[in-house]
Structure 1
């Protein structure tokens, strides 16, 4: 086999064993992406917490299954994208909660303290 100077020689892949399964995309990878997208879209409404946590748990399980499969389960790119979207959704939830707390504290500080009586009441 001839290669260009500076290139590493390529080795043709060995024959596959007939009982080896065909590589397939993990079904959990698609679910992680869908849940991560849902979390990112609903993060500002604080509804993104549930799909984000489910997506992160599924991603963890999918990574374990992909590792145990020895390379026959694919979909790592979908997992990464789904995890990033889930973390984005959680960050949006955190921003929303912090903003709501700040607005609540400011409104509480502006409220009159105690009971306000008329000027002619002792």
Structure 2
């Protein structure tokens, strides 16, 4: 929002004294921590669980923040945690594909059937 030169910004409505103070959502920090764990352990295939839990918690935290009417903050932590969780899931997918390719190549190189001596008909 831009303000025209020479005009004063509009004052926000005064808060009611019984309104709660804005507080960072506790799930936002948990989403970030789980997303970080998911990204760090993604290549080891262990990142699936924390990344999935982080994405589910992020969904719940967004729903709660919307219902709170702006009194729950921490959207930046949620975004970072979701990005890290998706990065962890991407690393898990890369690891699974790499393991499948390695397995297929080793299977293709392995001899099949019985290996008889050259003197056997």
Q: TM-score, normalised by structure 1?
A: 0.92
- Please list the CA deviations of residues 33-70 of structure 1 after superposition, one character each: whole Å capped at 9, or x if unmatched: 00000000000000000001000000000000000000
> Does 2:10 correspond to 1:11?
yes
Residue in 2 that maps onto 1:54: 53
| SS, match of residue 104 in structure 2 | helix
- Structure 2 residue ranges without an equivalent (≥5): none
Which runs of structure 1 show a deviation greater than 4 angstroms over 4 or more consecutive aligned residues?
none
Separation in structure 2 between the aligned mates of residue 79 and residue 91 of structure 1, nearest angstrom: 18
The count of residues paired between Structure 1 and Structure 2 equals: 119
Q: What TM-score do you get using the length of structure 2 for normalisation?
A: 0.93
Residues of 2 paired with 1:23 and 1:35: CA distance?
A: 24
Unmatched 5+ residue regions in structure 1?
none
Instruction: State the superposition RMSD in angstroms.
Output: 1.5
1:119, CA displacement in angstroms?
2.0
| Other-structure match for 2:34 | 35
In 1, the alpha carbon distance for the partners of 2:23 and 2:118 equals 80
